[in-house]
Amino acid sequence: MGIEPVDVLLAGLGAIALGAGVLVVSTRHIVRAGLWLVVTLGATAGLYLVLTAELVAWVQVLLYVGAVVVLLLFAVMLTRAPIGASDDLDRPRWAGLLIGGGAGLGLAALLVDAYRWSRVESPRTGTGAEQIGAEVFRTWVLPFEVLSVLLLAALIGAIVISRPDIGSRPDNRSEIGRQESRRES
């Protein structure tokens, strides 16, 4: 079992993902942290690609790089996004190191122990789109639907929180109405 090009690619992409990930939490430039997150998630998508999970890789790019990080950057730029280093960042350094490092090491140990040196052949045919579709809508259809209900609940919650004029409690609403009438008078 020699070193194949796939192994080199995996190691390289893994190193990029890890390095950029460390930069995300260690850089003092807030927006740059978000941009380093793009690199991390991109490298992770690359890892999926090397492992022939093509669909998962592009889902990663579409959802995480294209939507989640963009939303994150958007929110940061809306609030406070200074150019250059911010010295007043509140970072629980040791707690973060402990939790992050502990979780990482623990998961790594668990995975190494679970698989040892057993080889798992990656599927050579297909992109996984059909298999994933069949699995999700046959075997896993119930969790899938439950998840969508959860997302719907989150969506409605977000609307209720961001729109005080359609708030949940009547007394709450009258309070806002009173404030508004005060402002008008």
Binding region for another protein (CB under 8 A): 29, 31-32, 35, 38, 54-55, 58-59, 61-62, 65-67, 69-71, 73-74, 77-78, 81, 83-84, 126-127, 129
Q: Which is nearer to another protein, 74 or 140 (CB)?
A: 74
CB of 104 to another protein, least distance (A): 26
Q: Which is nearer to another protein, 77 or 89 (CB)?
A: 77
**8 A C-beta contact, residue 105 and residue 50:** no
CB of 114 to another protein, least distance (A): 30
What are the residues whose beta carbons fall under 8 Å from the beta carbon of 17, sequence distance 6 or more? 39, 40, 43, 44, 47
Select from 151, 152, 168 the least CA-distant residue to 160: 168
CB of 132 to another protein, least distance (A): 11
One DSSP character per residue, 69-107 reads: HHHHHHHHHHH---SS--TT----HHHHHHHHHHHHHHH
CB of 68 to another protein, least distance (A): 11
CB of 173 to another protein, least distance (A): 25
Residue 67 CA neighbour count, 13 Å, CB half:
7
Q: Which is nearer to another protein, 16 or 127 (CB)?
A: 127
Q: Which is nearer to another protein, 26 or 172 (CB)?
A: 26
Q: Which is nearer to another protein, 9 or 55 (CB)?
A: 55
For residue 15, which phi and psi values (nearest 5 degrees)? -65, -40
CA distances from 92 to 95, 97, 98, 125 (A): 6, 8, 10, 47
